[in-house]
Amino acid sequence: MAIERTLSILKPDATRRNITGKIITCFEDAGLRVVAQRRVHLTPDQAGAFYAVHKERPFYNDLVSFMSSGPVVVQVLEGENAVQKHRDVMGATNPKDATPGTVRALFALSIDENSVHGSDSLENAKNEIAFFFKDTDIVG
């Protein structure tokens, strides 16, 4: 299977509750490696640009407001089948639907405060990684 990279964000509800290490452990235990990482407090403009694909959705304003409400950890995870593996470990967007043992089942507070974001395709992963990191920031 191919070695891939995916973009992972630990959201403000995770930094606020000081559980970023617990969440990263879930990804590492699944065989994913952190190859780039930064803690950043996004401006509303930055959060809005990152989630521009959702601009027309009714939850967009709340999403932008939440994602700029506190620090996040942005990271690149690398491993076999990383895009899908990361999504499997995250669990469903709404924690009510998330499989027991997944990050969102374990830690998410609601569909809005759902602790983590992950790229949904290899193509989006490349774009999302480039949004936050230069090639030289990534050390495999």
Size of the site for ligand CMP (CB under 6 A): 8
Which of residues 69 and 93 has its CB atom nearest to ligand CMP in the complex?
93
Map the footprint of ligand CMP across residues 30-59, applying CB under 6 A: 54, 59
Answer whether 129's CB lies under 8 Å from 136's CB.
Answer: no
Q: Which residues of 70-99 are buried (b: 16+ CB within 10 A; e: fewer)?
A: eebbbbbbbbebbbbbbbebbbbeebeebe
Does 119 bind ligand CMP (CB under 6 A)? Our answer is: no
Q: Please state, in angstroms and rounded to a whole number, the distance separating the CA atoms of residues 87 and 113.
A: 16
Rounded to 10 degrees, the C-alpha dihedral 12/90/120/126 comes to: 70
Does 112 bind ligand CMP (CB under 6 A)? Our answer is: yes
For the question of residue 117 being annotated catalytic, the response is yes
What's the DSSP call for residue 53?
Answer: G
β-strand partners of 75: 8, 37
Which of residues 78 and 120 has its CB atom nearest to ligand CMP in the complex?
120
Q: How far is the CB of 139 from ligand CMP (least distance, A)?
A: 25
Catalytic annotation, pick one of 41, 54, 86, 117: 117
Map the footprint of ligand CMP across residues 66-95, applying CB under 6 A: 93
Q: How far is the CB of 99 from ligand CMP (least distance, A)?
A: 16
Residue 133 sits at the vertex; the CA angle it makes with 57 and 137, to the nearest 5 degrees, is 160
Instruction: Show which residues are catalytic.
Output: 117
Catalog residues that contact ligand CMP under the rule CB under 6 A: 54, 59, 63, 93, 111-112, 114, 117
